[in-house]
Amino acid sequence: MLSQPNIQPSQPISPGNVITIAIAVYRANLKTYFRLALIAHLWLCIPIYGWGKYVAISGLISRLAFGELIHLPENVEDANRKLNQRVWSFFWAATLSTFFVFCGFLLILFGSLILFAFIGGLIGFSGIIAQFFSRNATVMITLVIITLILRIAWIVFFVLGIGWYYSRWMIAEIPLAIEDGISGKQSVDRSWELTKSSFLQIQGILLVWVLVSSPLTIWVSNILQIVLKTTRSGLNLEKPGDIIYILFAITMSIFLLPFWQAVKTVLYYDLRSRKEGLDLQRISAQFSQKADQLPLSDR
């Protein structure tokens, strides 16, 4: 008897559930993922190749998480061997997506600045003309209020613009880690393609991610501050405190990496289920008893 999917995949998985599922996957494989995240961070010390390794191992975590999601868990060594050949593709995908995000950031920043400066200029100009004809206090007040609204509108526009643009490149390395036979560039393209018209869902996921990971960071950093204060007053040493702080930040980064990768993987799984019928392919493959061939490579 095959189990039917019990969440209706014609609807997106809700942002809250994406986070809950990601946590559950991470929890079930805590040691493995944490160890991988630690190794990935060690690689960061080596420039260029090490950075590629960092992205590749992040991708490895995603690949393992994806295996869990489709009920076909993969052996860590096997997956690692496969992805090891793609280190440069990972590096390329990460560079490309970072470059795109950076350019988009500048473009949105300056584009919106120019746009809003233009609107603001028009309003200011008309205000001066109005002043010229009638010296009225209400005109001034209205102008001030309009300028204020304009500023808020600019901030909202800017934040949403960046949020939208970033979400399009968010899963850039995931297809490369999970699908076989695609290049770094194709992986980045697929991120753009898959995330199309999922703006609200992805913004929701980012919001809940911040919500859920913040108690951890805030909590631990508060303890740390208390500890640091006592050591500082007791020993009066500045340096060890700083070192502890840096160590803490790195530990947090290691701890949160698998969580973040799992979140992106659940999103990827959801997008592919809805837009490519991934889960239907899977069930259909189970019917024809070729489950071992299908899900990881559809191209």
CA atoms of 194 and 268, how far apart (whole Å): 8
CA atoms of 278 and 280, how far apart (whole Å): 5
Is residue 70 within the footprint of other proteins (CB under 8 A)? no
Q: Which of 215, 233, 236, 239 touches other proteins by CB under 8 A?
A: 215
Q: How far is the CB of 171 from other proteins (least distance, A)?
A: 16
Stretch of 18-26, 74-82, 125-133, 170-178 contacting other proteins, by CB under 8 A: 18-26
CA atoms of 205 and 16, how far apart (whole Å): 7
Is the CB of 53 or the CB of 168 nearer to other proteins?
Answer: 168
Binding positions for other proteins, 19-48, rule CB under 8 A: 19-21, 23-25
Q: Which of 9, 50, 111, 241 touches other proteins by CB under 8 A?
A: 9
Is residue 219 within the footprint of other proteins (CB under 8 A)? yes
Are residues 150 and 123 in contact, defined by beta-carbon separation less than 8 angstroms? yes
Stretch of 30-38, 44-52, 238-246, 280-288 contacting other proteins, by CB under 8 A: 280-288
Q: Residue written as tokens 């690692």?
A: 80
Is residue 15 within the footprint of other proteins (CB under 8 A)? yes
Is residue 207 within the footprint of other proteins (CB under 8 A)? yes
Is residue 4 within the footprint of other proteins (CB under 8 A)? yes
Is residue 274 within the footprint of other proteins (CB under 8 A)? yes
* Contacts with other proteins, residue ranges (CB under 8 A): 1-11, 13-21, 23-25, 68-69, 204, 207-208, 211-212, 215, 218-219, 274-277, 280-281, 283-284, 287-288, 298
